[in-house]
Structure 1
Amino acid sequence: MGMIRVLDFVDRCYNGEDGQVIHDIIVSRLPTEVELFVSLEGVDSVPSSFVNVAFISLLDFLSFNEIKRRLRFVNTNSQINEMIKSRFAFEAKRRAAH
């Protein structure tokens, strides 16, 4: 089990560039961690550009079910939870249709 505290690596979760930093950290840890916890402690909200790059692009490497099994979001709020959930649901459905 690994923990990634987002604000240890970026000053804010503001855009795709911040998301790329978190994405790269997640991808680098996936081979050695069975389960990863992503802590968004101290983050009030996230835009879709951050979520798309940091998390949704993981669908290029893992199935949606694998992501649900291995990635856990902690220390979040309802806005962040809804943004992540809605983006994954949309993208997983879109990819399944192709």
Structure 2
Amino acid sequence: MEIVIKKYVERPSTYEDGEKIFNLIYPEIANNERVEVSFAGIESVPSAFINAAFIRLLEKVTFEDIKKYLQIVNSTHHINTLIQNRFAFAVKKSELA
């Protein structure tokens, strides 16, 4: 499945916007389906959007499944780095708990 963020959220800038994307991603990953999320036409997003759209997945599925089934495409270096850093922080935090 391909999810083009701009088709669902005009300006991805809030936690609520991220929740809309999460609600599209999660059922696919839960069913062991690959999901391609496209940031086409988006230059940057806040961490609140990333937390809601992607990091919340850790509450439902393993990080291994996220790596296996989720692919980010048409993204900027800034967005990629933000996603990687947020996942690294969340995974490390969960390992310490």
| Match of residue 80 from structure 1 | 79
| Match of residue 95 from structure 2 | 96
DSSP-derived class of the 1:12 partner: coil
Report the CA distance shift for 1:80/1:91 in structure 2 as closer, same or farther (over 3 A). Answer: same
Structure 2 spans left out of the alignment, 5+ residues: none
Structure 1 runs of 4+ aligned residues shifted over 3 Å read none
In 1: Cα distance, 2:33 partner to 2:68 partner: 9
Task: Report the residue type matching 1:28 in the other structure.
Answer: P
Aligned length: 97
Task: Report the residue type matching 1:78 in the other structure.
Answer: H
| Mapping 1:34-45, distance limit 5 Å | 34-45=33-44
Checking the alignment, whether the CA contact within 8 Å between 2:29 and 2:70 is kept in structure 1 is no
What is the percent sequence identity of the aligned residues? 37
| Mapping 1:64-75, distance limit 5 Å | 64-75=63-74
| Mapping 1:1-98, distance limit 5 Å | 2-32=1-31, 34-98=33-97
Structure 1 spans left out of the alignment, 5+ residues: none
In 2: Cα distance, 1:60 partner to 1:27 partner: 10
> What TM-score do you get using the length of structure 2 for normalisation?
0.94
> What TM-score do you get using the length of structure 1 for normalisation?
0.93
DSSP-derived class of the 2:9 partner: coil
Report the CA distance shift for 1:3/1:33 in structure 2 as closer, same or farther (over 3 A). Answer: farther
Deviation at 1:30, TM superposition (A): 2.8
